[in-house]
Structure 1
Amino acid sequence: MRFTPLVEEYRGGVLENVHYGAVSVVDEQGRILYRAGDPEHMTFLRSAAKPFQAIPGMKRRIDRVYGLSPEEAALFAASHRGEDYHIAALESILQKTGVCEDQLYCCMTYPLNEEAKAQRQRAHEPKRRIFHNCSGKHAGLLALSKHMGWDEQTYYLPEHPVQREIIGTMAEFAEVPAASIPLGVDGCGLPIFALPLHKIGLSYLKLACPDLIPDPETRKAAAVIASLMNANPDMIADRKFICSALLKDPNLVAKGGAKGVYGIGLRKERLGISLKVSDGSEQVWPCIIASILERIGYGNPATIDRLYALEPNIIVNDGGTEVGLRRAVFTLES
């Protein structure tokens, strides 16, 4: 693993922490234009895979089959944070599709957001499967299985038709043989796959620019899910998280995953960006992504400003006093 320092954090003028990782920027031919660290680093996509896991359902337009709203359908690609509006939309999905909450293979838990979690606990509510940040994805796969007449009890197994379609979809986007993609088990219990970092970037570029996809059905499905993400950014995470902040820019399609992996597709520039923070930190994503966009001369400063506002480079203590700073220290090499 050839990682390079991406972000340094200082406290009282003393270097306190270094976040290592790798960055890759590719063009529409899949060529690596810029790199920091090893663009061949193999990593699991984790939740960055969700837009691609939604493609089989979008091919069948299950949102239309079940009469879902755009906000509800966007949850198929979401890592929602458990806010009230997320849970209301998920309950509506279950009602419209006829999927039972107990059918979701993800575990019962509380929402990711601390205040949303505390709200449920103050009300003495039990843990629920739809509080899980992956429950929208699970509901979508169950709804597709129901529509196709596939077994609904085993949709999480690698040999299930929906999972076979998903791995085929990922192979199609990344331009690699499906048999070459390492499989694991994600936090929510579904199969998850690993790709070289630059192939993640290529996949996100195709999500942003579906004209690069030869198959017409996949092309249309990619355009649908990407459009849903951009039109409903707060459904993908929440109003204060980086995925939603990036998706407010109509030029970008973006999604992060656990353990520091992130993918971004740029429509106008026709570029794919991917990164991995080796220690799994998500807190430094805004610093890294804002720096990448600055260094490639990205033309929408409002997006960059939004990232810095989300996670300022000034470090404060628990009382709000400025005590240090973080800064991106990597170079994008041609």
Structure 2
Amino acid sequence: MGFTTLVEEYRGGILENVHYGAVTVVDEKGSILYKAGNPEHVTYLRSAAKPFQALPVMKRRIDEVYGLTGQEASLFTASHRGEAFHIAVLESMFQKMELNEEGLHCCAAYPLNEEAKAERHRANEPKRKIFHNCSGKHAGLIGLSRHMGWDEKTYYDPNHPAQQEILEMMAYMAEVPKESIPQGIDGCGLPIFALPLHKIAYSYLKLACPDLIGDADVRNAAAVIARLMNENPYMIADTKFVCSELLKDNNLSAKGGAKGVYGIGLRKERIGISLKVSDGSEQVWPCIIASILERIGYGNQATIDRLYALVPNEIVNDGGTPVGERRAVFQWEA
């Protein structure tokens, strides 16, 4: 699979845990600048696909069709973690779009944010589909289907026009034939796609730098999506998550997905980054991403500092006493 050691974790000076994976950095021509592990490794984007799944929605300006605010429209791309402010904005969006949450194909769930989940338990509230982290994406696709006159009840079917257009958008952004893209079913029940890591990095570069996109409608949709994500970072994840911390930096387009996959585009530097942690860990994302930014000489130290503050490299025990450390140990390969 071409994985290499990305992060080592030590306790009392003894190596306790190792996270393997791969990192790829590409330039605006899609050429590989740096790599650790195999840039051809194929992995599902999972929720890192959400900005691209939103392209058909924003191409039709579904936000304007239903009179949505920027906060509401940003949820089309989000893996919101169910904090109270997320649910309030979702309920406003659903009211404007005249949506019933029971029409969502995703399952009922509790919020991913632990405090928000505990609040719902304390209130003896049941699981709800609107609490699911993908509910905003599903709402956008229902709104698109209704606007286009497509069957809104089967929007999740791989053969549905909305899903076929998403596949075409993904292939267009990655510059690969759509027939070459493996497909599966994501946790929320929608089709999901797999790409080589260097193509994920290139797709994120184009999201950050839409001037690289030839088609004017897609270019404009990508620009709107990227802007909304930067303007509403807390809507994309929550107040204590790496996606939101990265999106506070207006130079970055960024989104992670389940099982350790991440994509980042840098505007001024005009490079794309992707990574995959083989064991699916998200806890080591900040360590890896901060190290990548340091190694390429990234100029915004505040972004790097926020990542280290989110998940410090110093490992502490339950009482807060330092007991070890984690280190990004990957090396760029020729």
TM-score, structure 1 normalization: 0.99
- Number of aligned residue pairs: give it: 334
Distance 2:113 2:251 in 1: 27
Q: Does 1:196 align with 2:196?
A: yes
Counterparts of 1:39-58 in structure 2 under 5 Å?
39-58=39-58
Task: Identify the residue that residue 291 of structure 1 maps to in structure 2.
Answer: 291
Cα RMSD between the aligned structures? Answer: 0.5
1:160-197: per-residue Cα shift (whole Å, max 9, x none)? 00000000000000000001100000000000000000
Q: Does 1:22 align with 2:31?
A: no
TM-score, structure 2 normalization: 0.99
How far apart are 1:57 and its partner, in Å?
0.6
Task: Identify the residue that residue 222 of structure 1 maps to in structure 2.
Answer: 222
The 3-state SS of whatever aligns with 1:153 is: helix
- Give the stretch that moved more between structures: 88-97 or 215-224: 88-97
Task: Identify the residue that residue 102 of structure 1 maps to in structure 2.
Answer: 102
Task: Identify the residue that residue 209 of structure 2 maps to in structure 1.
Answer: 209
The one-letter amino acid paired with 1:235 is M
Task: Identify the residue that residue 186 of structure 1 maps to in structure 2.
Answer: 186
Give me the identity figure in percent. 77
The 3-state SS of whatever aligns with 1:38 is: coil
Task: Identify the residue that residue 250 of structure 1 maps to in structure 2.
Answer: 250
Task: Identify the residue that residue 306 of structure 2 maps to in structure 1.
Answer: 306
Distance 2:135 2:320 in 1: 35
1:93-139: per-residue Cα shift (whole Å, max 9, x none)? 11001111000000001000111001011111110001000001001
How far apart are 1:201 and its partner, in Å?
0.2
How far apart are 1:38 and its partner, in Å?
0.3
How far apart are 1:230 and its partner, in Å?
0.2
1:222-281: per-residue Cα shift (whole Å, max 9, x none)? 000000000000000011100000000000000000000000000000000000000000
Task: Identify the residue that residue 74 of structure 2 maps to in structure 1.
Answer: 74
How far apart are 1:333 and its partner, in Å?
2.6
Distance 2:134 2:155 in 1: 14
Q: Which runs of 4+ in 1 moved over 6 A?
A: none
Distance 2:120 2:194 in 1: 35
In the alignment, structure 1 segments of 5+ residues that lack a partner are: none
Distance 1:225 1:124 in 2: 36
The one-letter amino acid paired with 2:103 is Q
1:133-155: per-residue Cα shift (whole Å, max 9, x none)? 00010011011111111101100
- Give the stretch that moved more between structures: 196-205 or 85-94: 85-94
The 3-state SS of whatever aligns with 2:308 is: helix
Task: Identify the residue that residue 144 of structure 2 maps to in structure 1.
Answer: 144
